[in-house]
Amino acid sequence: MDANRAKYRYLIIYTLVILITTLGGIYILRSLITEHYFGAYPFIPIYFFVLGGIHFCLFDLYNKSTQQKKLLFYM
């Protein structure tokens, strides 16, 4: 599997996971524990989706620009 195909596959899986957990969270909060639901809840998963996308893009740019070990990126 080439790198571009793996990237797109990762992004699709990441999007599906965020979407499923968002819909599941909304369902649980609205139907089971309605007193804890608040109107801005859908913005929380959107924030983490954008944050994860930015992290993925930065990690991809880092891999293209340097030949250092990937562990140093996280330190």
Residue 16's pLDDT band (cuts 50, 70, 90) = very high
Distant-in-sequence contacts of 38-44, Cβ < 8 A, 24+ apart: none
pTM above 0.85, yes or no: no
The residue segments making up the domain with residue 41 are 3-74
pLDDT at 70 over 70: no
Percent above pLDDT 90 for the chain: 21
CB 15 within 8 A of CB 68: no
> How much is the average pLDDT of 34-62?
85
